[in-house]
Amino acid sequence: MGPVSNAGARFRQRKISVKQTLQVIKQSDIPDFDLEDQQRELQHIETGVEKGEEEEHHLQQVINASAAKFKGANVKQVYIPTPDASRIWKEADKYYYQKFSEPSEYIKFSAVVEDTSGCQYNMDERDDEFLQQFNKNLTKENQCTEDEFEIICERFDKIIDEKQPFLTMDPQQILSFDEIKKISLDPNSIKYLRPNEILAKKLNIPKFKTLYDADSSSGRDPRPIDQLIEKFGASIYEHWKNRRIERNGKPVFPTLKFEDPSQKDDSNPYTCFRRREFRQARKTRRTDTQSIHKLKVLYTDLKRAENLLLLVGERELKKQNLFEVNYETLKLRKEFKQLKRDANIKIDDELLYDKPKKKRPPIGYIPPPPVHKNEEKSKSNNKGSLPSNNKTSKTKIKAELSSSGSNKKSTSMELSNSNAQTNNNNNINKNNENNISNKLPQAVIQPYVKLPPAKIPDIELTTVNTVLKDKLEGIKKAVSDKLIKRKLQDEGWINFTDDPYNPYFDMSLNDNNLIEEKSHIPYSSIASSMFEVENSREINFSHIFNNNRHYSNNDSEIVKINFFTGQVVKNDRHTYLPEFYDAVGDEIPNTKFGRTKSELYEEFNEKNRFNVSEALFKVRKRHGRGGRIWMDRKRTADDDLFEEYLNYSDSEDSDNDVRVDGISTSNQILGKGTFDHEEKLFDDGENIMDVDKDDDVSESSPVKPKVVENSKKRRNAYDCNMDAKKRLKSRFMFDSDLPISNPLDPSKLNQIGKQTQAVRFGCMLLSKAYDNMHQIRQKQILHHQQKLQQQQHQQREQQLREQKERERQAVLARQNLNNRSNLKDKGFENGNKMDKLSSSLTASASTPKNSKTPKEKKAKKESDSKKPKINKKGLPKEKNKNSMNDISGSPSVKLKIENSVNGNKPATISNPKVDKENKI
Amino acid sequence: MTSDTENLDILDSTALIPPKRTTEPLFTASSIVPGSKVFVLKDDNYRLSEILAFQVRRGKPSYYVHYVEFNKRLDEWTLEENIDFHRPLVLPKAQSPKKDTKKQKKKTPASSVPSSRSQLSSTPVESDRQMSVKTEDKMDEDDNDNGDNDDEMDLDNLNVQGLVKEGEELSREDEIKKLRTSGSMTQNNVNALAKIRNFTNIIIGNHEVEPWYFSPYPIEYTDEGSLFICDFSLQYFGSKKQFERFRSKCTLKHPPGNEIYRDEKVSFFEIDGRNQRTWCRNLCLLSKLFLDHKTLYYDVDPFLFYCMTRRDELGHHLVGYFSKEKESADGYNVACILTLPQYQRHGYGKLLIQFSYMLSEREGKNGSPEKPLSDLGLLSYRAYWAETIAALLIETKPAEISVEEISQKTSMTTTDILHTLQTMNMLRYYKGQHIICITDQVAQAHDKLKKKKKHQLDPKKLIWKPPVFTASQLRFGW
């Protein structure tokens, strides 16, 4: 390489980017590599060692040796010589003897050296000499130990540091022993104590040792300082004072030299650990006040922390006491047992064991007042279910229900319930007393423990939250008290506004005003109270239509239906189900009240008329495990918005599904199943009660056994813990907070709970659905009747014609008579077929009453008798039924159209054509 | 130190090689004043030495001498009889008042440095080196300002960060000003008193150790024969009785902080200078005995101390430590680092360095030790850097790698890496490109080291999160 190119290469070589990737090559892989050339290029490399030192002989030796080594030279290892550090101090064992045990976890430690080294005064040889002289003439008892000597000297030092920080100015001014003694013995001064001593003093316990205190070297614990100063103070003071004056007032033992602001020149190498001065931030009044505020806050915080620690200490003392007492008890019991054995006394061993401890309620816990059944009922009716700890059993609630509802029920029921009612009445008085006694502490007790006023800083501890909460509590309590009171006054009267099945607004759908914007539908209590709906199943309507008994009454307007059971109540419903809403709206004069319910709601409708859609849900009731009643609901039409809303909680849906699947028939089978969490919530909930009541009725009425069987698949869609809680919460939130309520919002009317309202609303929707269904049915039946009449008419005409012909031809052709009678038979056959077809299509047992053909009756009977059999077969068949329900339960608007087509047809189409259709 | 070199100017260029003895004594003891240089017998050789102090010890006149070109730790008291009166005495140059002026600063490097270097002719590379030193000196003056590109580095001018260049010595005031905000190192302008070792013997644990340098323990203790230092609390006592009393009361058995690392051999404790003022001051006083450039001018608040200990049945014995600024403006990950002399040459230094890089890795930062390094510090760091880079390159076998990638993997700064590559002779120029060449020597050294199976720290055993400090916590005024 020429010198020029070499220089060029070197020039390029100078710069290197740290981001540039460099090939990594082994030397052996590049044999042509010119090592010598590279070596020549090696430059001096900066070391980071101070320049002057870099040239030091030994360092250069080592650097050069290693450099040579990297170049392949074989050099001896060289070291930089250092002063000797290899000698072992033989006496070490005398001074290091405390053994250390390694914890398994990494050590966490924050104590400082001063905490772990006991008394800060360490006596030296001179002190030792003095002490030995001093102790010479004293008995062992009276001698001053080294520990004690140090404690006294430490106290002296501390007092001087406190009182005479500038003693070095004039050492002779040092406090006299009497002054020091006075300060030292001042019982209020804790300045000179170690932290553990202060704690001991504040807790009024003897001085104790901490983990950081070593065992006393003299083998006996030092006596209290007050005693020591009385006893040895004077003579030790003289010794100590002399040494201190000798040191020009400085502490006896040398300390590090810190900066002395009075001295200008701070070049003294012994001065160390100066503070770092920082430029002061500009001082303003604002920063001053801020700092003062900060300091105040800090002070109160620290005070509080101190207080807390003291309380902890007190607690630990109490615990210690407890243990001691327990130990004593144990010992006494042991003796007692021995005595008992010796004397052969046979008494109960009760005294030998601790009674099982009662679970102590947490601090601030307020025991709930024992809620009486009646009160509970009223609460749940008027305010919705409160979270109650009471676990009243199912039967109790039933009893309650029957008793409270007895007034409305038939006399036969009244008899059975009168006992319960009187019981309740008797209990009410007692209960009120209880309530009063329970309420008093409730108002007084506050959830936090009050500290002694001397120890809390003047800072308000209440927050806006607690104030609001208190207020809310008060309001709630007042309301519930009022309600209870009212309930008592209303005893024996029917609370009309509370009637859960009587909605006060029109459910009928005005055909002219079809709901176009379905997204508004959720604006109803059902939508706003977040009900969970079980998706997979829907209400079983088949039994309604299978049971022809409903139609035994010619007047279809009068038929009433229990919407949960599908049971038809008919005219006599008011005798035992007075609260059931008359879905079709017939006026049943009720003599007990001035006006009929229908009158009332008509009046209401006049004022508040608005349109409601058709049934959005199919609702189904069934028995669940443990005698629970389930309410199932399914949407009838697709609507995305609604779907989203309904599928709100998937997890709970599936939960419900599981429960539904295995259910086959009735209460007894599944009575054992336990769902405790639900029980709590719904034992006092009105849904179950209302539904229960309903169910009870259906069970108790012997006339309709089938209905009971059919209701087995019903479940309560409102049985949902989370929703119940949510509803409860939101209820309280909104009920109390919303000043303006929508006058049209049904849930705001009459202070009826959303739950109640929802149940009613659901019923209404259902009733509407049924209503439509019923009308369709009626129309279909009418249509059939018309058809039949037409057929009969036709037949009759035919017969008449035939007769005429026969009469006309009787004489002429007697041989043809057989053929003509065959024709007549055919006509009858056609009629039968048509009937069968219609009945299977609608999947109902409904047949017109006025169809009196014997064959029809027979067919009807067959279908009736078949029905229970199918049911008993269980699930697979049920699916069929459901699919049929799907048909029957599909949006009634569609059906209507079909209906109207069907209904219009017979008028226009000629008879032979109808026959044909039916045959097909 | 500058005075040394200045004085050397007067001497002949051959001054370090003792001149021939004259038959007649050239001077008397009375003419020796502090600062003058004489030849003193040291290990059978006469070496040029500077007399720093005179004292009558045990009835005999003694001189405290600093051997020129030896580290200060070898300074010692020597008897009059060791002084060679037959070789010339060099009297100290009168302290020129213009020393601090700017002119002086510029003049010094040009004149004194090459001359002093030229006297070192013991190694074959000398001439090459000197050449490059000269160029370096020139470059220092040329591209001092524009030499700091972001990722471009001039291989000839790899300035060691934080190191004060010759001719740019700070005045004492500047130095202290710099210290106020950060750092624990100062080197120049020390009081004459501080040049003399003030303790002859310390007893720590069961070791008797000779101190190396001055340390500002209370001046009263310097009269005592030995200084007793408690192995755990590092409290110091001149009196044995006091030490005994203290030991009977002391219950500390490990550094007073949280253990953040533990393996079968060593543990590490993290100690905050603000929380453990006494202990950390004691530690600094102790370490000052062995660290020349350490300063105790300011207090320990802004530092965290990472202490390595060895366990036995008595407790955790301090083996070494490094301090670290809570917030380093210069990106240092170590301020001072020391293995106590009684534990030196056992590989503990490397563990300390490894641990400091482990912490940097956990912090996600690169780091470098605060400069200046001591001679021993430099050697330890160089060894660690070389081993780490060699291990990385040989064990992961990358086809190519950038310096930055190495930096990411090792938490070392790029400057340190380039320095190391150069010292290892691994950074080569081949076919118009820079390459990293794994030389046979490096590979051999790596194999050898692997066979030795030295103790290595396990990063998994480090239970540590980088401590976070608020602004007010970092303000160190009281």
Amino acid identity for residue A458 in this structure:
D
Question: CA of A354: how far to CAs of A319, A346, A350, in Å?
Answer: 17, 19, 8
Residue of B nearest to A69 (CA): B441
Position A745 scores a pLDDT of 53
Query: Which residues from A are below 8 Å from B218, CB to CB?
Result: 254-257, 270
Residue of B nearest to A252 (CA): B220
**With bands split at pLDDT 50, 70 and 90, how would you rate the model's confidence at B60?**
confident
Q: DSSP string of A7-45? A: HHHHHHHHEEETTSEEEEEEGGG-TT--HHHHHHH----
Q: Is the pLDDT assigned to residue B354 strictly greater than 50?
A: yes
Sign of CA dihedral A883, A888, A893, A897: positive
Q: Do B83 and B39 form a contact (C-beta atoms < 8 A)?
A: yes
- Residue B254: name the closest of B225, B237, B276, B223 by CA: B276
Distance to chain A for B262, nearest Cα, Å: 7
Q: Is the pLDDT assigned to residue A34 strictly greater than 70?
A: no
Give the mean pLDDT of A908-912: 43
* CB-based contact, A437 to chain B, within 8 Å: no
State the Cα–Cα distance between residues A57 and A61, nearest whole angstrom.
Answer: 6
Question: In this predicted structure, which of A347-361, A558-572, A817-831 has the lowest mean pLDDT?
Answer: A558-572
**With bands split at pLDDT 50, 70 and 90, how would you rate the model's confidence at A682?**
very low
Pairing mode, strands B202-204 and B227-229? parallel
Closest CB from A70, A80, A99 relative to B314: A99
Query: Per the CB < 8 Å rule, is A109 touching B256?
Result: yes
Give the mean pLDDT of A790-813: 79
Q: DSSP string of B293-323? A: SB--SB-STTEEEEEEEEEETTEEEEEEEEE
Query: Per the CB < 8 Å rule, is A113 touching B256?
Result: yes
| Highest mean pLDDT (candidates A13-17, A740-744, B169-173, B418-422) | B418-422
State the Cα–Cα distance between residues B240 and B228, nearest whole angstrom.
Answer: 7
Q: Do A836 and A829 form a contact (C-beta atoms < 8 A)?
A: no
Q: Do B246 and B237 form a contact (C-beta atoms < 8 A)?
A: yes
Q: Is the pLDDT assigned to residue A830 strictly greater than 80?
A: no
Q: What are the helix (H) ranges across A563-649? A: 573-576, 597-607, 640-646
Q: Do A758 and A752 form a contact (C-beta atoms < 8 A)?
A: no
Give the mean pLDDT of A703-707: 42
- Residue A416: name the closest of A405, A403, A427, A407 by CA: A403
| Highest mean pLDDT (candidates A171-175, A362-366, A656-660, B171-175) | A171-175
**With bands split at pLDDT 50, 70 and 90, how would you rate the model's confidence at B232?**
very high
pTM score of the predicted model: 0.58
Kindly report, residue by residue over A670-681, the tens digit of the pLDDT: 344 434 444 343
- A346 vs A466, which has greater pLDDT? A466
* CB-based contact, A637 to chain B, within 8 Å: no
Count residue pairs from A and B with Cβ separation < 8 A.
Answer: 403
| Highest mean pLDDT (candidates A297-301, A486-490, A685-689) | A297-301
Amino acid identity for residue B346 in this structure:
H
Closest CB from B253, B277, B298 relative to A274: B298
Query: Per the CB < 8 Å rule, is B477 touching A51?
Result: no
Position A615 scores a pLDDT of 58
State the Cα–Cα distance between residues A639 and A569, nearest whole angstrom.
Answer: 33
Question: In this predicted structure, which of A86-100, A152-166, A418-432, A632-646 has the lowest mean pLDDT?
Answer: A418-432
Query: Which residues from A are below 8 Å from B156, CB to CB?
Result: 14, 43
Query: Which residues from A are below 8 Å from B241, CB to CB?
Result: 123-125, 127-128
In terms of Cβ atoms closer than 10 Å to its own Cβ (0-12, 13-18, 19+), residue A2 is exposed
Query: Which residues from B are below 8 Å from A108, CB to CB?
Result: 258-259
Position A614 scores a pLDDT of 55
Give the mean pLDDT of A381-404: 44
Instruction: Give the residue numbers of B marked as catalytic.
Output: 370
Q: Do A756 and A686 form a contact (C-beta atoms < 8 A)?
A: yes
* CB-based contact, A273 to chain B, within 8 Å: yes
Give the mean pLDDT of B85-94: 82
Q: Is the pLDDT assigned to residue B48 strictly greater than 70?
A: yes
- Helices (runs of H) and strands (runs of E) counted in chain A: 34, 5
Position A276 scores a pLDDT of 76
Q: Is the pLDDT assigned to residue B465 strictly greater than 50?
A: yes
**With bands split at pLDDT 50, 70 and 90, how would you rate the model's confidence at A730?**
low
Query: Per the CB < 8 Å rule, is A27 touching B436?
Result: no
Biggest alpha carbon–alpha carbon distance for chain A: 172
Give the mean pLDDT of A703-716: 44
Q: Which of residues 169-228 of A touch B (CB under 8 A)?
A: 211-214, 217
- B313 vs B134, which has greater pLDDT? B313
Distance to chain A for B97, nearest Cα, Å: 19
What are B229's strand-pairing partners?
B204, B236
Residue of A nearest to B258 (CA): A108
Query: Per the CB < 8 Å rule, is A27 touching B369?
Result: no
Kindly report, residue by residue over B365-402, the tens digit of the pLDDT: 999 999 889 999 999 999 999 999 999 999 998 888 99
State the Cα–Cα distance between residues A429 and A419, nearest whole angstrom.
Answer: 17
Position A378 scores a pLDDT of 47
Q: Is the pLDDT assigned to residue A768 strictly greater than 70?
A: yes
Rounded to the nearest 10 degrees, the angle between the axes of helix A464-489 and helix A721-737 is 100
State the Cα–Cα distance between residues B67 and B40, nearest whole angstrom.
Answer: 8
Closest CB from A18, A100, A118 relative to B314: A100
Question: In this predicted structure, which of A362-366, B214-218, B349-353, B457-461 has the lowest mean pLDDT?
Answer: A362-366
- Residue B370: name the closest of B159, B163, B174 by CA: B163
Query: Per the CB < 8 Å rule, is A53 touching B1?
Result: yes
Kindly report, residue by residue over A125-166, the tens digit of the pLDDT: 999 999 999 998 888 888 888 899 999 999 999 999 888 888
Question: CA of B330: how far to CAs of A579, B324, B363, B381, B477, in Å?
Answer: 87, 12, 15, 18, 21
Q: Is the pLDDT assigned to residue A822 strictly greater than 60?
A: no
- B475 vs A182, which has greater pLDDT? A182
- A182 vs A385, which has greater pLDDT? A182
Position A480 scores a pLDDT of 92
**What contacts A26, CB < 8 A, 6 or more positions away?**
B437, B438, B443
Distance to chain A for B86, nearest Cα, Å: 24
Q: Is the pLDDT assigned to residue B233 strictly greater than 90?
A: yes
The CA-to-CA distance between both ends of chain B, in Å, stands at 35
ipTM summary value: 0.81
Q: Is the pLDDT assigned to residue A459 strictly greater than 90?
A: no
Cα atoms found within 13 Å of the Cα of residue A177, Cβ hemisphere only = 16
Question: In this predicted structure, which of A533-537, A618-622, A817-821, B397-401 has the lowest mean pLDDT?
Answer: A533-537
* CB-based contact, A271 to chain B, within 8 Å: yes
**With bands split at pLDDT 50, 70 and 90, how would you rate the model's confidence at B41?**
confident
Query: Per the CB < 8 Å rule, is A23 touching B399?
Result: yes
Give me the count of residues in chain B: 478
Residue of A nearest to B417 (CA): A18
Position B163 scores a pLDDT of 57
- A47 vs A689, which has greater pLDDT? A47
Q: Is the pLDDT assigned to residue B323 strictly greater than 80?
A: yes
Query: Per the CB < 8 Å rule, is B251 touching A28?
Result: no
Pairing mode, strands B427-430 and A15-17? unpaired
To which residue do tokens 């310390």 refer?
Answer: B202
| Highest mean pLDDT (candidates A713-722, B160-169, B346-355) | B346-355
Please state, for a pLDDT cut of 70, what percent of chain A lies above it.
Answer: 46
Query: Which residues from A are below 8 Å from B211, CB to CB?
Result: 83
Residue of A nearest to B277 (CA): A112
Residue of B nearest to A59 (CA): B375
Query: Per the CB < 8 Å rule, is B423 touching A9?
Result: no
Position A519 scores a pLDDT of 54
Position A397 scores a pLDDT of 44
Distance to chain A for B24, nearest Cα, Å: 30
State the Cα–Cα distance between residues A742 and B75, nearest whole angstrom.
Answer: 98
Residue of B nearest to A122 (CA): B242
Position A460 scores a pLDDT of 59
Question: In this predicted structure, which of A727-741, A815-829, A890-904, B304-318 has the lowest mean pLDDT?
Answer: A890-904
Closest CB from B297, B342, B372 relative to A85: B342
The DSSP 8-state label assigned to residue A749 in this structure reads G
Cα atoms found within 13 Å of the Cα of residue A769, Cβ hemisphere only = 29
Q: What is the mean pLDDT of chain A?
A: 66
- A760 vs A95, which has greater pLDDT? A95
Question: In this predicted structure, which of A20-34, A690-704, B283-297, B443-457 has the lowest mean pLDDT?
Answer: A690-704
Structure tokens at B5: 């070199």
State the Cα–Cα distance between residues A647 and A640, nearest whole angstrom.
Answer: 10
**With bands split at pLDDT 50, 70 and 90, how would you rate the model's confidence at A813?**
low
- A660 vs B156, which has greater pLDDT? B156
Position B368 scores a pLDDT of 94
Q: Do A397 and A683 form a contact (C-beta atoms < 8 A)?
A: yes
Position A424 scores a pLDDT of 47
State the Cα–Cα distance between residues A185 and A226, nearest whole angstrom.
Answer: 6
Query: Which residues from A are below 8 Å from B284, CB to CB?
Result: 273
Position A900 scores a pLDDT of 43
Query: Which residues from A are below 8 Å from B175, CB to CB?
Result: none
Query: Which residues from B are below 8 Å from A256, CB to CB?
Result: 216-218, 281, 285
State the Cα–Cα distance between residues B202 and B286, nearest whole angstrom.
Answer: 9
Query: Per the CB < 8 Å rule, is A17 touching B151?
Result: yes
Q: DSSP string of A36-65? A: HHHHHH------SB-HHHHT-HHHHHHHHH
Kindly report, residue by residue over A478-515, the tens digit of the pLDDT: 999 998 888 888 777 665 554 445 444 444 444 555 55
